Amino acid sequence: MFRRIGNVVVRHPVWTIVAWLIAAVAIVATAPSLPSNSDESSFLPRSYESIKAAELQEKAFPSAFTPSAIALYQRTDGGRLTAADQKDVARITSELGAKHIDQVQKVVPGRPSKDGKYAMTLVQMDSKNAGQPQQVDAAKELRKDVKDLAKGTRLDVKLGGSAAQALDQEDSSKRGQALIGIGTFVIILVTLLIIFRAPILAVLPLLLIGLVSAIANGLIAYATKLFDLQANSSISSILIVVLFGVGTDYFLFLMFRYRERLRAGDEPKQAMVNAVDRVGEAIASAAGAVIIAFLALVLSTLGFLKQMGPALAIAVGATLIAGLTLIPAVVSLIGPKVFWPSTSWQKEPENARFAALGRGVQRRPALTAVLSGLVLVVLSLGTLGFNATFDLASGSMPKTKESMVVQDEMQRAYSAGAAAPTDVYLSSTDGKPLDKAAFGAYAQKLGAVEGVANARMAQVNKAGTTADFTVTLKYEASTDKAIDAVGQVRDVAHSAAPDGTEALVGGMSSIFKDIDSAVNHDYRTVFPVAALLIMVILGLLLRSVVAPWYLIASVGLGFGATLGATVWIFQEGQGHSGLMFMLPVIMYLFVVAIGTDYNILMIARLREEAREGRDPREAAGMALRHAGPTVAAAGFILAATFATMMLAGNALLTEMGFAVSFGIAVAAFVMAMFFTPSLTALIGHAAWWPGHGDQAKPTASGAGTGPGDASGGDGRDAVTHDPAGRRG
């Protein structure tokens, strides 16, 4: 199949390129805009208690006041607010409400802090549009207006709250995307120049992947709208890295094999056909593993990950098609001039370092397997200290952003949980009015829970069937202590509810509690499903039921080593309270899926060498000699491009950038380079049971496909052919 694809695109390169250009114009011109949502509650399905509580609030208390933005005032000299300052706060609050800003429903004064140094204005917005672009625009206008109204006073005012956080997150995301894009571009360009010393070849993947990126983003926007998926600004940053990183991987897989076929004496166009034929299966299998692993995220209960899975799968699918059609078409048009001005492509270097590494693995496979496996096991021990954090807002932007400053100052000035109180909704189950005489005792029981600062009955709906108890925690909503405390509040709220009533606990801490449960569900579901599907792909590629087990086990060890190293770096080294809650899921999928790419490339080459009649140890050595440079170059570029995410300046992308880049480096330079080939050499022919895929295939007489073949073991293609490219 892959030879037929290669023949078609090499024979009709211009039409192939034109087809891609037409597709790009059509998709980009008609694709809808990609929405963004930063509201954490939208990530959860309706079956969770915090979402049920939010829906009950909308029905029972449609006019209930839930601030979306908070203007926090303090004197410029840091002193206590005077009577004149308080009058200025009241005036600003009144004038801000009179502006009737879009999305703003109510503007009211908040209570002053106990030390008298802070005051607040609370702004309620339409809850149906929480986290949506309309409220981001409203927050931008609010921030400008409140600062303008404070001019001429002795007040310093900052805007915080969820709407302001969404605004700051969007701004941070744009800056992060720019830095990531520039960093990715520079890394790919410089690395390819160093490897090939050919400017055309260095620039080519950036141009081609840029075209693929435009198409992929359009297709993702279509899918997001068609299936009503949630979107988040962090996805755009991840997409940049996935498209350029994975795209460059497939470009390198193809170009290294193309160069190898030219060195073996193939006519240029036939060299490209042979390259697509030989490496196409590995690229397709690698991409298939990545796509299936990403699609496993559809099983997640979190809307953020549900959207990320299909989006990344579409991106990799588009990149795969480009790797098998667009790239071969363009390179076949240019021919060997793509390597200009370098002439080193014409001859394989003698005494190459990868040949030496291959000989080392060939001579001592057991020692290589033990040492590389020991490195992975030792690093994996760090996973025992893993702890999750749930503050997606502060994790998605620097602490210096205005909304984050407000959050920190409110924690010091008020009860840490005052900015996001917990609500307990007590409702009658028979539709009769609640017994108000029981409210005092119920509130007292809620207030006695460890971690609760105070609890009070706030309001009752008009029918008297639902009461709202406001519970203020001692801790900031996203902390582990707050999440533990809200779990105890739930227990007491449910058990202490009077007969004929039921209780639902809402608020941000309750949402984070449910996100914690959802993530744990994903660990139990997404991980094994993704691993099983990747094993199926490996089994189909290798026609073996043995090799997939130790290959996926090695990748699992790579995941453990990556998570362990990340825990040691950020929790132990930098003192973070924990890692972002979705990091292990994302890390697992990137490290397992993309890390499998390199295992597939190496094991496919090892099988190819074995089919030339080499014994398992020699085949492992030759595979490392020929596939090692490709794996090293691709692994370095992909790891470096993911590392550019650390430039974004926020905890989420910094942790993600380090973890995924480290994991890919481990996958390329430990697993694929040493662990996998040495294990395969030790297991020998049994690794290919029951398909016996390593058995030598009969070849045409005189083809010269023995171990000494000039192709370096690429015997299937090292056959005689006439100038027209027909195989002998």
CB 220 within 8 A of CB 314: yes
Question: What number of residues does the chain have?
Answer: 728
Q: Which residues contact 231 (CB under 8 A, 6 or more apart)?
A: 34, 35, 36, 37, 224, 307
Going from the C-alpha of 391 to that of each of 232, 443, 582, 602, the distances in angstroms are 15, 28, 11, 40
What whole-number distance in Å separates Cα of residue 492 and Cα of residue 508? 18
Helix H or strand E encompassing 160: strand 155-160
The C-alpha atoms of residue 432 and residue 463 are separated, in whole angstroms, by 9
**Residues of the chain where predicted confidence (pLDDT) is lower than 50:** 38, 351, 699-728
Quick one: which of 323, 280, 278 has its CA closest to 717? Answer: 278
- Residue 523: the pLDDT is 83
Query: β-pairing, 579-580 with 119-125?
Result: unpaired
Q: Report the C-alpha gap between 289 and 582 in whole angstroms.
A: 21
| 710: CB partners within 8 A, 6+ apart | 263, 264, 265, 704, 718
Across 653-670, b (16+ Cβ under 10 Å) vs e yields bbbbbbbbbbbbbbbbbb
Say if strands 388-389 and 579-580 run parallel, antiparallel, or are unpaired.
parallel
- At 280 the three-state DSSP class reads helix
Spatial distance between the Cα atoms of 642 and 660, rounded to a whole number of angstroms? 7
In terms of phi and psi (left: phi > 0; alpha: psi -120 to 50; beta: otherwise), the region of 82 is beta
Write down the pLDDT at residue 34: 60
Q: What is the amino acid identity at position 250?
A: Y
Q: Write out the two tokens for 590.
A: 């990137």
* Predicted pLDDT at 35: 54
Tell me 299's DSSP state.
Answer: G
pLDDT for 694: 63
pLDDT of residue 415: 67
Give the separation between CA 674 and CA 357, rounded to whole angstroms.
9
In the numeric block, which tokens belong to residue 191?
A: 């690395």
CA dihedral 579, 580, 583, 584 (to 10 degrees): 50
β-pairing, 119-125 vs 67-75, is antiparallel
- pTM summary value: 0.74
